[in-house]
Structure 1
């Protein structure tokens, strides 16, 4: 059995910052799925229709990506080794989203939003991979139980 170590301060910092970061993604997901008029007013009708027309599998990917990361951050703060699995599920969901958005609809996406989605998605990919690797390392070090 792996000996559980004292919680390093950096785990609290990474956990809190990642939870705040992922809370923004969760807020975006909920407001978009609820079709909140105030939130969606920032988008043109064409952009809104793009979001509303995602097929089920793309919505599943988006949900896994968002909620997997939120759960991973919470589990990280709880010092649970299951944070590793949650971040891995988030990466799988992110991969589905990327296939739909960039693999199947890149032209539409670029026309409606410019390069922002490509850049922002790259940032998200880097952050989720970093969180996954961080959680895996903390689990291997015995910090996560």
Structure 2
């Protein structure tokens, strides 16, 4: 039995590199928030009400946040390594992100507190993760990811 080697398309490097750069924002923000707390949040321009909202997040939201940001980075690295595992890892990131959105917009007053700009940012994050999942699906189908 022979195995066929599929050439890596140029766009995989572009998509993977951009995914890595974009998704690096999440862990950066997460680590700074965990290490510096309200001082970092204030330096990022958050209001006292927004900082209080972040400080009151339940542990399961913190867990989902951590899983989401680190899975997004792992998904980008796996995509650059041409691994099929990138798809389910990006899906885990999206699932964790959606748990955060459930808390923010459904189980708390976070949507009002965080404001419209954060809502737009959240939609953008969800769309980017969906596009990355679709891209991984397409590349898996073409046997680019192994």
1:65 equivalent among 48, 64, 68: 68
User: CA 1:104–1:2 in structure 2 vs 1: closer, same or farther (change >3 Å)?
Assistant: farther
Tell me the TM-score normalized by structure 1.
Answer: 0.89
User: CA 1:108–1:142 in structure 2 vs 1: closer, same or farther (change >3 Å)?
Assistant: closer
Aligned partners of 1:62 and 1:97 also within 8 Å: yes
Over 6 Å off, 4+ runs: none
**Count of residue correspondences:** 143
Measured in 1, the distance between the counterparts of 2:11 and 2:28 equals: 26
**Alignment RMSD, CA only?**
1.8
What runs of 5+ residues in structure 1 fail to find an aligned partner?
A: none
In the alignment, what sits opposite 2:119? 118
Can you list the C-alpha shifts for 1:14-53, whole angstroms capped at 9, x where unaligned? 0000100000111111111112565322323332221122
Tell me the TM-score normalized by structure 2.
Answer: 0.89
Whether 2:96 is the aligned partner of 1:93: answer yes
Structure with more contact order per residue of length (Cα contacts < 8 Å, sep ≥ 6):
1
In the alignment, what sits opposite 2:25? 24
Measured in 1, the distance between the counterparts of 2:4 and 2:34 equals: 43
Measured in 1, the distance between the counterparts of 2:3 and 2:98 equals: 32
